Amino acid sequence: MPSDLRDGRIVIVGASLAGLRAAETLREEGFAGSLTVVGDEPRPPYDRPPLSKQVLIGDVPAEATALPMRRDPDAEWRLGVAATGLDLLEKRVMLADGESLSYDRLLIATGTRARPWPNPEEGALQGVFTLRTIDDATGLAEALAAGPRRVLVIGAGFTGSEIASACRERGLDVTVAERGPAPLVGALGGTLSRLATLMHRGHGVDLRCGVTVTALHGDGNGRFTGADLSDGTRVEADVCVVALGAVRNVEWLAESGLAAGRRGVACDAGCQAFNMYGIVINDVFVAGDVSRFPHPLFGYQMLSLEHWGNAVAQAEVAAHNMLNPGPLQRPHLTIPTFWSTQFGLNIKSVGVPTYSDHVVIAQGSLEARRLAMVYGYRGRVTAAVTVDMGKVLDYYRHLIETAAEFPPPPGAADRAIAADIPIPSDVPDPKGLSHEPVVALTGYLPDRRLMVVQPVG
């Protein structure tokens, strides 16, 4: 590493998982200069996945979720102060307390926040929660422990489903209202969303699909009492959790000239930020939930992922590239992976299930609640989702990495009867060019991975 890259000032904006792992990696790779980490929450980095699981069940207090360090990154932590602006020319980050920090290299890792209920007055009712931070989780866990008559969960994505699962585990009555036809349909497609429906209902969730919540009601003291649904019914409940997904924390970049928008901050495969003209800004890097990056395996589409594993992997690549000149930089080629634990089932996904036109159940069965579903797009394997079958996921990851033919080859002993019969994946159509080349990854180790392109004749 050239000595000028090993020294100087690096500022990381964002003090959660990606920010922490980037800071550690910078030191691991020999950065000897000054390192400042800015975070708008007053707390040191903590882990969010337990907030919708262990914490809501009541096993773990929310404030016990601090992330362990791999090593002390020897950083100055500016916690409880948000970044409010960025001057690319002056190389300066403006802070909410009026100060500013100058940098030689900057990492943007500001992540996301919970999408609030669109009506602020209704959203402010006592008993209405979102779930993203320790404070959110503490409040919600207390409200659940108080034994509410009923909990209303708005939105049946992963977070909403996990919250409903935790409520049922605590023996609480719960209603889930989802605008779509079934839980998880946007992420996993039609077939698995039907399994999700069965799991909700089988565990006693009052699941209402194809409806929206039109109003939240409070009593005279500002306490939430219930909600109106678009089908004309009313749900009486003491607690309401708004689980409508995430908003990317990009407002502070609005005037910066970076390509920052609703779907995140765009960057290249080496995590360097684009400005609004699509030109790479050399000293500004992006990692984690706030980033949008092109992935060659998925038609070079710009991916926005809210995945724990992506935050870690991308932070490591960004940190490496902050310390290395162009030819030594690494691409972020990690295959997207996520998990969710709900209603006693473990769901794991590898690849991009929404980048698909067909699926097959390759192993196991819906009846057994144990299966591997493989997703294909134009005859190539692009994703796989397992339910309580996580041990086979590596095999399917390899098929994705090598752009293997879809449906996957036969031979599994527990092959499903219908493993040869692709059915429509029933997810939003992936946008894609009509004749993109097939791309595969080679190599085993993340830092020695290469891409090979096989032109389509």
Rule CB under 8 A: which residues touch another protein? 20, 43-47, 49-50, 53-54, 57, 59-60, 64-72, 76-79, 307-309, 312, 337-339, 341, 344-346, 362-364, 368, 370, 372, 388, 390-395, 398, 409-415, 444-445
Q: Which residue number, 55 or 213, has a Cβ lying nearer to another protein? A: 55
User: Can you give the length of the chain in residues?
Assistant: 457
Supply the minimum distance, in Å, between the C-beta of residue 333 and another protein.
15
- Residues contacting residue 272 through CB under 8 Å, at least 6 positions apart: 280, 281, 282, 284, 285, 286, 321
Supply the minimum distance, in Å, between the C-beta of residue 119 and another protein.
35
Q: Which residue number, 271 or 371, has a Cβ lying nearer to another protein? A: 371
DSSP secondary structure letters along 294-312: EEGGGTTEEE----HHHHH
DSSP secondary structure letters along 179-218: SSSSTTHHHH-HHHHHHHHHHHHHTT-EEEES--EEEEEE
Supply the minimum distance, in Å, between the C-beta of residue 152 and another protein.
24
Q: Which residue number, 75 or 273, has a Cβ lying nearer to another protein? A: 75
* Residue 338 backbone dihedrals phi, psi, to 5 degrees: -150, 170
Supply the minimum distance, in Å, between the C-beta of residue 39 and another protein.
10
Q: Sign (positive/negative) of CA torsion 337, 430, 191, 198?
A: positive
Q: Which residue number, 110 or 310, has a Cβ lying nearer to another protein? A: 310
Supply the minimum distance, in Å, between the C-beta of residue 88 and another protein.
25
Q: Which residue number, 258 or 305, has a Cβ lying nearer to another protein? A: 305
Identity of the residue numbered 223: R
Supply the minimum distance, in Å, between the C-beta of residue 338 and another protein.
7
Q: Which residue number, 77 or 300, has a Cβ lying nearer to another protein? A: 77
Is 440 exposed, middle or buried, given 0-12, 13-18 or 19+ CB atoms closer than 10 A? middle
Tokens 């602020």 belong to 120
Supply the minimum distance, in Å, between the C-beta of residue 418 and another protein.
15
Q: Which residue number, 324 or 341, has a Cβ lying nearer to another protein? A: 341
